[in-house]
């Protein structure tokens, strides 16, 4: 009976931890590449478990491609000096991402240059030497 209880507990633990590990995998992003995107914010989603920026990026052919940029959780962003109003729809920004390895228009957030010229990361504002500092 004790063995059955241990096996059941182990199965429950696996059912919780495997989806969590899969959810947080960075395997879909090319972390060796940075891609700079200049465009207009369509939406900034301040939500758990991840915040997102949807960015409309004009192309040379006159078309616009919508990029989805995954960020960290709002709690981490808030500790780095972000607010839910830091980025708003209509803002003209430049976002640096680690692109998706599939080539689809999406990526993992690295930094953003706001309309006022300030550059932010998920760890805070970039200082003169390029190191993040929380405000």
Per residue in 40-69, pLDDT (tens digit) is 999 999 999 999 999 999 999 999 999 999
> For residue 115, what are the CA distances in angstroms to 65, 103, 108?
20, 27, 21
Is the predicted pLDDT of residue 132 greater than 60, yes or no? no
Q: How far apart are CA 94 and CA 38, in angstroms?
A: 4
If residue 53 lies in a helix (H) or strand (E), which one and from where to where? Answer: strand 52-58
Is the predicted pLDDT of residue 19 greater than 60, yes or no? no
How does strand 64-70 pair with strand 52-58?
Answer: antiparallel
């Amino acid at each position: 009976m004790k063995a059955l209880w241990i096996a059941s507990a182990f199965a429950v633990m696996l059912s919780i931890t495997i989806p969590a590990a899969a959810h947080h995998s960075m395997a879909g992003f090319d972390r060796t590449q940075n891609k700079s995107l200049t465009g207009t914010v369509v939406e900034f989603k301040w939500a758990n478990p991840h915040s997102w920026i949807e960015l409309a990026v004009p192309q040379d052919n006159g078309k616009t491609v919508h990029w989805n940029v995954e960020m960290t959780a709002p709690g981490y962003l808030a500790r780095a000096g972000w607010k839910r109003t830091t980025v708003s729809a209509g803002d003209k920004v430049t976002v640096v991402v680690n692109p998706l390895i599939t080539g689809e228009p999406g990526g993992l957030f690295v930094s953003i240059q706001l309309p006022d010229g300030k550059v932010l990361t998920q760890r805070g504002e970039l200082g003169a030497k390029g190191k993040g500092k929380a405000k």
